[in-house]
Amino acid sequence: MSVSKAALLEFLRLHRYAVEASQAAEGPPEAALVGFLVNERLELFFDSFDSTRKVANLRRDPRIAFVIGGQTIGDERTVQYEGVVDAPIGAELQQFKRDYFAIQPDGLRRSKLPGITYFRARPRWIRHSDFNVNPAEIVVFEGAALSADYRAEQHSVTRERDHLDEPWQPKIEREAAFNPFTNPRDGTGGSENPAPLEGLE
């Protein structure tokens, strides 16, 4: 069954924190953990300080990305979220702050400190991945599916990964090969000429 926009919102509201990524002026993207609020339009609201890297990055380049979920053992659902930020003002900012402080009480304390800044991220592309089911279900929301009108749910795109017979798992049986004190040939320690790993000759 395809994930609806309402179900996506419900999943996001189960979470209080997201890994956020912004683009540095020079060099690689930079990531941080942020507390957030999500509203019915799937906009994410969060705070930070002027002294942080992300604030400098976002003021120069408003593009932003988040990963949400994957924190609960046994729940293999995540959301990848890409969008752009702005800084709400006036009555809109005050409403965001009231809602934000209700679920992030520490935000009220931060609001009294100098240099606090607020951002609102508006979505441009969202992917919900569910590896709890077999086959895995991938649903992408973009374009009309991200409009404020919930009747646009039919514009989401469902991509079932039929080639995955079961959720991906690391090959634990080969983990010993990555132990520098273990001989991959027989699992014992210390060999100056260990046998090559299969497929790595």
Collapsing DSSP states into helix, strand and coil, what is residue 61?
coil
What per-residue confidence (pLDDT) applies to 147? 65
Chain-centroid distance of CA 59 in Å reads 21
**37 within 8 A of 44, measured Cβ to Cβ:** yes
CB 113, CB 95: distance < 8 Å? no
pLDDT in tens, 150-196: 343 333 333 434 444 444 444 444 344 434 444 444 444 444 444 44
Residue 174: both structure tokens together: 């080969």
pLDDT at residue number 44? 98
Q: Flag whether pLDDT at 124 surpasses 70.
A: yes
What confidence score (pLDDT) does residue 140 get? 95
Give pLDDT, residue 109: 96
Helix, strand, or coil here: 65?
strand
Residue-averaged pLDDT of the chain: 80
Distance (Å, whole) CA 5 – CA 141: 8
pLDDT digits (tens, 9 = 90+) for 67-108: 999 888 889 999 999 999 999 999 999 999 999 999 999 999
With a threshold of 0.85, does the pTM exceed it?
no
Domains (ranges, CATH) in the chain? 5-161 (2.30.110.10), 170-201 (no CATH)
Q: What pLDDT does residue 2 have? A: 74
